[in-house]
A and B are shown apart, each in its own frame.
Chain A
Amino acid sequence: MLIALKQRKPLQYLLLLVVFMLLYRFVPQSEANWLWRLPSLFKELPIIINDAVNYLMFEWMPISVYDPDIEEYEQKPLFGQITRGFSGVILFMIELVREILLGGVKTIVTFTSWDWVSENKWARWPALPWTVITGGMVILGYSLGRAKLALFILCAFTYIAVFGQWESSMKTLSFVLVSAPIAILLGLWLGVWAYRSKTVEAVMNPLLNVAQIMPHFAYLIPVMVFFGIGDHAGAIATIIFATPPMVRLTVLGLKKVPPEVAEAGLMAGCTDRQLLYRVLIPSARRDILIGVNQVIMQCLAMVVIASLIGAKGLGNDLLIALNQLRVGKALEIGVCIVLIALVLDRLSLAWANKQTDYFANLSFKEKHQYSLIFLVVFVVGIALAVLGSFIFKEGFNYLYLIPQNKGITTEAFWQWGVDWIWEAFFYSFKAFNVWFIVEVLIPIKNSFLGMPVVATFTLMMGIGFIVGGIRSALIVGGCLLFIALTEWWDRALITAYLMTIAVVISGTIGILVGTLAAQHPTSSRFILTVCDTFQTFPSFIYLIPVMMFFGVTDTSVLIAIVVYATIPAARYTIEGLRSVPQELHDAASMSGVNRFQRWLSVELPLSFPHMALGINQTVVFALSMVIIGALIGTDDLGQLILKSLSDKAGVGNGLVLGFCVAFIGLAVDQILRTWADQRKQALGLS
Chain B
Amino acid sequence: MSVQTKTSNTIEPVIRCKSVYKIFGDNAEKMMKDSGGVIDTEKLKEAGCIVGVNNISFEVYPGELLIIMGLSGSGKSTLLRCISKLTTASAGEIFIEGEDILKMSNKQLIDIRRSKMGMVFQSFALLPHKTVLENIAFPLQVKGISTSDSIKRAQEMIDLVSLSGRENHFPRELSGGQQQRVGIARSLAIEPDIWFLDEPFSALDPLIRREMQDEFLRLQESLNKTILFVTHDFDEALRLADRIAIMKDGIIEQLDTPANIVLHPATEYVRKFTEQVPREKVLKIKAIMEPVVPGEQLSDLEVFAEDIIATVAEEVLNTERPVAVVDVNGKMIGVLHRANVVHTLFGNNDAVQP
Contacts and interface: CB of A to CB of B under 8 A. Distances in A.
Interface in B167-186: 167-168, 183, 186
A358 interface: yes
A274 interface: yes
B117 interface: yes
Contacts of A283: 127-129
Interface in B110-126: 110-111, 113-115, 117-119, 121-126
Q: Indicate the member of B125, B126, B130, B151 with the most A CB atoms within 10 Å.
A: B125
Given A261-B127, A285-B129, A269 B121 contact: no
Interface in A326-385: 355, 357-359
A264 B129 contact: no
B119 A271 contact: no
A352 to B, nearest CB: 9
A1 interface: no
B133 interface: yes
A250 B275 CA distance: 52
Contact of B123 (A258, A267, A274, A359): A258
A267 to B, nearest CB: 4
A266 B113 contact: yes
Contact of B142 (A261, A263, A269, A285): A269
Contacts of A258: 123, 125
Contacts of B139: 268-269
Interface string B155-198: 00000000000011000000000000001001100100000100
Given A285-B129, A358-B133, A268 B113 contact: yes
Contact of B118 (A260, A266, A267): A267
Contacts of A271: 110
A225 interface: no
A260 B121 contact: yes
Contact of A269 (B110, B122, B125): B110
A284 to B, nearest CB: 10
A267 B84 contact: yes
Nearest to A278: B142
B118 A274 contact: no
Interface size class of A (residues with CB under 8 A): 20 to 34
B86 interface: yes
B111 A269 contact: yes
A269 B113 contact: yes
A282 interface: yes
Contacts of A269: 110-111, 113-115, 139, 142-143, 190
Interface string A482-519: 00000000000000000000000000000000000000
Given A258-B123, A279-B127, A266 B86 contact: yes
A282 B126 CA distance: 12
Contacts of A319: none
Contacts of B131: 355
B110 A267 contact: no
B151 A358 contact: yes
A283 B117 CA distance: 23
Contacts, number: 73
A533 B191 CA distance: 50
B111 A267 contact: no
B319 interface: no
B138 interface: yes
B147 interface: yes
A266 B113 CA distance: 8
A349 B185 CA distance: 30
A258 B128 CA distance: 11
B96 to A, nearest CB: 13
Interface string A627-663: 0000000000000000000000000000000000000
A270 interface: yes
Contacts of A282: 127-130
A264 B130 CA distance: 14
B127 A267 contact: no
A472 B190 CA distance: 55
A73 B190 CA distance: 62
A260 B111 contact: no
A547 B128 CA distance: 48
A666 B124 CA distance: 42
Task: Give the residue among B126, B129, B168 with the most A Cβ atoms within 10 A.
Answer: B129
A267 B119 contact: yes
Nearest to B111: A269
Contact of B125 (A260, A274, A355, A358): A260
Contacts of A263: 81, 86, 119, 121, 125
A525 to B, nearest CB: 20
Contacts of B147: 358
Given A263-B121, A264-B121, A358-B147, A270 B142 contact: yes
A112 to B, nearest CB: 42
A265 B114 CA distance: 11
A355 B129 CA distance: 9
Contacts of A270: 110, 142
B86 to A, nearest CB: 5
B229 to A, nearest CB: 15
B125 A261 contact: yes
Contacts of B123: 258, 260
Contact of A268 (B124, B129, B142): B142
Contacts of B133: 358
Nearest to B114: A269
A250 to B, nearest CB: 16
B133 to A, nearest CB: 6
Interface string B277-317: 00000000000000000000000000000000000000000
Interface in A262-296: 263-271, 274, 278-279, 282-283, 285
B306 to A, nearest CB: 34
Nearest to B141: A278
B270 to A, nearest CB: 29
Contacts of B151: 358
B117 A267 contact: yes
A159 B125 CA distance: 46
A268 B111 CA distance: 10
Interface in B89-123: 110-111, 113-115, 117-119, 121-123
Contact of A274 (B84, B142, B190): B142
A260 B131 CA distance: 18
A282 B130 CA distance: 9
Contacts of B186: 264, 268
Nearest to A271: B110
A357 B133 CA distance: 10
A429 B37 CA distance: 84
A278 B134 CA distance: 12
Nearest to A270: B142
Nearest to A264: B125
Contacts of A278: 138, 142
Contacts of A285: 129
A269 B183 CA distance: 15
A282 B131 CA distance: 13
A168 B114 CA distance: 54
Nearest to A358: B151
A98 to B, nearest CB: 34
Interface of A: 258, 260-261, 263-271, 274, 278-279, 282-283, 285, 355, 357-359
Given A263-B81, A267-B86, A269-B115, 17 more contacts: A258-B123, A260-B122, A261-B125, A261-B127, A263-B119, A264-B119, A264-B121, A264-B127, A264-B183, A264-B186, A266-B86, A267-B117, A274-B142, A282-B127, A282-B129, A358-B133, A358-B147
23 contacts: A260-B125, A261-B126, A261-B128, A263-B81, A263-B125, A264-B121, A264-B125, A265-B127, A266-B86, A267-B84, A267-B187, A268-B113, A268-B138, A268-B139, A269-B113, A269-B114, A278-B138, A279-B127, A282-B130, A283-B127, A283-B129, A358-B147, A359-B168
Q: Which 4 pairs, one residue from A and one from B, show the smallest C-beta to C-beta distance?
A: A269-B114, A268-B139, A260-B125, A264-B125
